[in-house]
Amino acid sequence: MHPSPTRTAARRLPAAPPSIDLLAVGQLFLDVLYGVLPAAPSPGQEVFTDRAALLPGGIANFAAAGSALGARTAIAARIGDGPISRITRTLLEGSGIDTTRLLVTPDWDLQITSALPYAGDRALVTGGSAPTIAAAAAPDPRGAASIALHLGPEEMPWLAASDARIWADVGWDASGAWDPGLLRHLEHCEGFLPNADEAMAYTRTDSPSAAAHRLAERVPIVVVTCGAEGALGIDARSGLEVAVGAPALGPVDPTGAGDTFGAALIVLRDRGLGFRDALEAACLAASARAAGLAGPGITPSPSQLAALARQHRLGCTEALEALAATSVPDA
């Protein structure tokens, strides 16, 4: 059993009933998603697919998945004042996501990422320029019950001032440094949700299990996602360790699946699901998004997840059916 890490956050903001279930904080993109390709495109070749979608990406994947699961969601990110940013804001608002905490950067526009899925993975092409402002302004976390955050190397003093449950994620480190100093932010977090490669790189370990145990010394809840193999979770407070599989639901586009897993885990835990049920249901949500069962890049609703869980005879079926019974019916 691990020593139980505790958040050291100072409670400096006035407590009030949450007006937002999930606040997503991080970098925003506009994604172009395509259906699964038979192979990688060759030079000079045009490839056709029967699916394409234009969706807000990056941290917006957390917000969109949370909204699909019935949570009141908001997003805090930089956005520009050009046409790409206007389209992205419209799409966010159309998904029921509160955009009042978006920070406009004048004379700049969001980057566009095209995702090309094939052979069980995907290649990404991103165009546009990064914002020229060196440091992002601190978001306003007030009124949020939970926060989903993409960690960065910069200082984040607002973490210590928040009353919210903070769930952290990380991205791929193209420099290859994987500086463990980034993990200092975890002292203010409720949970950490890296994938297996990220977890092993930051902890200098050689297996997802070893990485999860090392991280459980820093944060109360750690979940390491392992793609098609599912996820491994440790609740350091209770010592509970859980490994769950991911159901195979069809051709896979993994774009945004990790963020969907994270959002589902946060929302389902906040809705009262136990650790094992929430992990299994989050894997189901991520697999369903990757397979495009509700549409390209779309997270299924609670009732759709409950039906899938029943179909695949998952242990989380009863918990999802109870959640679906109290959720807004599908449109």
- Other beta carbons within 10 angstroms of residue 16's beta carbon come to 9
pLDDT at 81: 96
For residues 138 and 144, what is the distance between their CA atoms, to the nearest angstrom? 15
pLDDT tens by residue, 235-281: 999 999 999 999 888 767 677 889 999 999 999 999 999 999 999 99
Q: How many independent structural domains does the chain possess?
A: 1
| Confidence category of residue 95, pLDDT binned at 50, 70, 90 | very high
CA neighbor of 312 nearest in space, from 218, 248, 242: 248
**Is residue 134 over pLDDT 60?**
no
Beta bridge partners of 37: none
Residue 7 lies in a domain: no
Q: Residue 135's domain is classified under what CATH number?
A: 3.40.1190.20
For residues 56 and 112, what is the distance between their CA atoms, to the nearest angstrom? 9
What SS3 state is found at 68? helix
Greater confidence, 133 or 306? 306
pLDDT at 330: 62
**Is residue 6 over pLDDT 90?**
no
Residue 10 lies in a domain: no
Average pLDDT of every residue of the chain: 90
Provide the percentage of residues in the chain whose pLDDT is more than 70: 92
| Confidence category of residue 9, pLDDT binned at 50, 70, 90 | very low
Greater confidence, 254 or 146? 146
Residue 4 lies in a domain: no
pLDDT at 137: 63
pLDDT tens by residue, 49-75: 888 899 999 999 999 999 999 999 999
Q: What is the mean pLDDT of residues 5-12?
A: 50
Structural domain for 109, as ranges: 20-38+49-172+182-325
Scanning the chain, the segments in alpha helix (DSSP H) are 60-68, 83-94, 196-203, 208-215, 257-270, 275-291, 302-311, 317-325
**Is residue 28 over pLDDT 50?**
yes
Residue 9 lies in a domain: no
Residue 15 lies in a domain: no
Does the predicted model carry a pTM greater than 0.85?
Answer: yes
Q: What is the mean pLDDT of residues 102-109?
A: 94
For residues 71 and 57, what is the distance between their CA atoms, to the nearest angstrom? 18
For residues 306 and 284, what is the distance between their CA atoms, to the nearest angstrom? 10
pLDDT tens by residue, 170-226: 988 888 999 999 999 999 999 999 999 999 999 999 999 999 999 999 999 999 999
For residues 128 and 133, what is the distance between their CA atoms, to the nearest angstrom? 15
Dihedrals φ, ψ of 149, to 5°?
-135, 130
Residue 84 lies in a domain: yes
**Is residue 136 over pLDDT 60?**
no
Please, how many CA atoms are within 13 Å of residue 13, restricted to the half-sphere of its CB?
17
CA neighbor of 29 nearest in space, from 301, 294, 259: 259
| Confidence category of residue 12, pLDDT binned at 50, 70, 90 | very low
Beta-strand relationship, 78-79 and 144-150:
unpaired
